[in-house]
Amino acid sequence: MINNQIYLDNSATTKPYDEVTDFMKLIGSTCYGNPSSMHSMGLKAQMLIKEARASVAETIGARSKEIYFTSGGTESNNLAIAGYIEANPRNGKHIITSSIEHPSVLEVIKYLERKGFKADYIRPDVSGKVKIEELSNALRPDTVLVSIMYINNETGSLQPIREIGNIIRKSNPKTVFHSDAVQAYGKIALNPENDNISLMSFSSHKIHGPKGAGALYVNKSVRIKPILLGGGQEYGIRSGTENVIGICGFGMAARVCHEHLESNNEHCSKLKEILKEGILKNIENTVVISDKNSSPYILNVSFPGITSEVLLHSLEQKNIFISAGAACHSNKSGKSYVLAEMGCDKKTADGAVRISLSMFSTEDEIRQVIKELTEIVPILRALKQKGCKR
């Protein structure tokens, strides 16, 4: 428990490791050279970035030169899609994605549609998994790019990435596969090359690193163009003086979380099971939205008859922090397009919350959450039935 807070909104963002904030402070105070400066203070900053790049590369079995640092997951997704399209104008005008991608994927593809591209948005089944057959049927000779996220940020559904990679490879070796792995990186073992993924996006602040840093993996065989132009940093792919403090924090977080990848995974799997069983046992009429094979870090669960925002604020009074959906966009309507696409009825969607774990989550915290939910949910249901606005 951190400052008596039970923080279970780790898919929105995570607490930076102490090692990370300490390292960032040290770098900020002592290694403040500009990596582009020709003197040793510049070189030192350059070496720090090189180290961070090697750290990130190592965690996914990639070469250092395949890792480009960005300002975060959103920029990585934008750069992957727009940068690939810009660099390969003759590879086709058709894009495939899913209807449950993060807005930083969907909005770029909608933008490209306005510029003359065609796009297919593959829908998920009831479990939140993208329909493989639909995707397979949508592939065309002029499909330039397929973008499917690794793990959905709202439901935790693990997408059939390897299968999709194989289908793409067989259908058209020229079609490039991008995966937004922001919710998967640092949670499960990833190797983009093995999955036929040419472009993969990562975010620092989802793995106990700082916000404002991320990376894009670009397979060595693939060429992209920058979206930010200028001094030519990051091998010409991402101009702008490097966020040295943020990149160092990200590199450190990547190392630390991958040291404990498996044990963290087991730890969260166990907690998620306790949470799910506890809720199902104690609160009647509960719908578990996250499917069996979803991320151990995310439980999406609905209490039909309540409004998720109200539950969120009620739990907040008890120092418990969860989410009514994804936090990564400023649309605060609370209406989840992900659940809608999965075919969730309105009542279930309205009562859905996301409880997302981290390696710092404890069994005591989970039991406390079950206790509070067991008390609060029936009260909120009764109040809502009475037509009380709360």
Exposed e or buried b per residue across 143-154, where buried means at least 16 C-beta atoms within 10 angstroms of its C-beta: bbbbbbbbbbbb
Check binding of 75 to a copy of itself (CB under 8 A).
yes
Check binding of 13 to a copy of itself (CB under 8 A).
yes
Q: Which residues in the 151-210 window bind a copy of itself by CB under 8 A?
A: 203, 205, 210
Check binding of 365 to a copy of itself (CB under 8 A).
no
Q: Site for a copy of itself (CB under 8 A): which residue of 6, 16, 67, 177?
A: 16
Q: Is 80 helix (H, G, I), strand (E, B) or coil?
A: helix
Check binding of 38 to a copy of itself (CB under 8 A).
yes
> Which amino acids are annotated catalytic?
328
What tokens were used for 61?
């079995």
Stretch that binds a copy of itself, among 52-60, 98-106, 154-162, 283-291 (CB under 8 A): 98-106
**Which residue type, as a one-letter code, is found at position 82?**
A
Query: Which secondary structure element, helix H or strand E, spans residue 108, and what is its range?
Result: helix 103-114
CB-based burial of residue 320 (10 Å sphere; 0-12 exposed, 13-18 middle, 19+ buried)?
Answer: buried
Query: What is the dihedral angle through the alpha carbons of 110, 153, 136, 113, rounded to the nearest 10 degrees?
Result: 0
Straight-line distance from the first to the last Cα atom of the chain, in angstroms, rounded to the nearest whole number: 28
Q: How far is residue 57's CA from residue 37's CA, in Å, rounded to a whole number?
A: 25
Stretch that binds a copy of itself, among 89-97, 113-121, 233-241, 374-382 (CB under 8 A): 233-241
Minimum gap (Å) between residue 317 Cβ and a copy of itself: 10
Nearer to a copy of itself by C-beta: 116 or 387?
A: 116
Q: Site for a copy of itself (CB under 8 A): which residue of 6, 138, 199, 322?
A: 322
Check binding of 351 to a copy of itself (CB under 8 A).
no
Q: Site for a copy of itself (CB under 8 A): which residue of 118, 131, 211, 367?
A: 211
Is the Cβ–Cβ distance between 213 and 69 less than 8 Å? yes
Q: Which residues in the 238-267 window bind a copy of itself by CB under 8 A?
A: 239-246, 249
Check binding of 336 to a copy of itself (CB under 8 A).
no
Minimum gap (Å) between residue 372 Cβ and a copy of itself: 14
Check binding of 12 to a copy of itself (CB under 8 A).
yes
Q: Which residues in the 116-145 window bind a copy of itself by CB under 8 A?
A: none
Is the Cβ–Cβ distance between 305 and 383 less than 8 Å? no
Q: How far is residue 350's CA from residue 8's CA, in Å, rounded to a whole number?
A: 19
Stretch that binds a copy of itself, among 65-73, 260-268, 269-277, 378-386 (CB under 8 A): 65-73
CB atoms within 10 A of CB 333: 7
Nearer to a copy of itself by C-beta: 284 or 316?
A: 316
